[in-house]
Amino acid sequence: MKVNAGNLKKANFIMHKGSVYQVVKTEFYSPGKGSALMRTKLKSVSTGKNVEYTFKSNEMIDTLDVEAKEVQFLYSDNESLYFMDPQTFEQYYLSKDIAGSIANFLKEGVNCYIYLHDGKVLNIRPPQSVRLKVVEAEEAIKGDRVGGAKRPVKVETGVSVMAPLFIKKGDVIVVNPETGEYVERAK
């Protein structure tokens, strides 16, 4: 389906120069003279690399019809993430290169969405937050509490997250998987 470049939105999938890309960021720009432009940051579905490209706002772009399907994260190996549709038990996989840093925050059993086009997984839409148990946390130093100080803590998936000093080993914290940032201590 063709769409005007001025109508591109974050998370759209487009066909550009013979490859499939996901729109990561859009910025409408109107220079004083000439036609308006749409500056975009695109992520290649095949390589996971980001490129910046500027379209004329009236340029027609091929968008892909993509299905978002809720799946359950099963496990990961060195190269891929594996998911299962809880209704049909059909399994899907996605390269860690495409998923990016989101892969560091997924734990077994978490529900998320995958984007499918012609039966192929294009990318993942992670949950807005994940609950992870802190497995390693250094003791806070007395007097080191000024200005919302943070320190790295290691969570059950093996990645480090910057968390406030009051977080200790055994606590469960809420993390935003897209940014890798601490949100709050789980209640």
Domain boundaries, the chain: 2-63, 67-125, 130-185
Q: With cut-offs at 50, 70 and 90, classify the pLDDT of residue 31.
A: confident
Q: With cut-offs at 50, 70 and 90, classify the pLDDT of residue 144.
A: low
Spatial contact of 126 and 115, defined as CB atoms under 8 Å apart: no
Return the CATH class of domain 2-63.
mainly beta
Calculated CA dihedral for residues 156, 161, 166, 168, nearest 10 degrees: 20
CATH number of 67-125, picked from 1.10.3720.10, 1.10.3260.10, 3.90.1150.170, 2.40.50.140: 2.40.50.140
Q: For the purposes of burial, counting CB atoms within 10 Å of the CB of 40, is it exposed (0-12), middle (13-18) or buried (19 or more)?
A: buried
Q: With cut-offs at 50, 70 and 90, classify the pLDDT of residue 92.
A: very high
130-185 carries CATH number 2.40.128.110: no
The reply to whether domains 67-125 and 130-185 share a CATH topology is yes
Give the least confident one: 76-85, 100-109, 134-143.
Answer: 134-143
Q: Is the pLDDT of residue 72 over 90?
A: yes
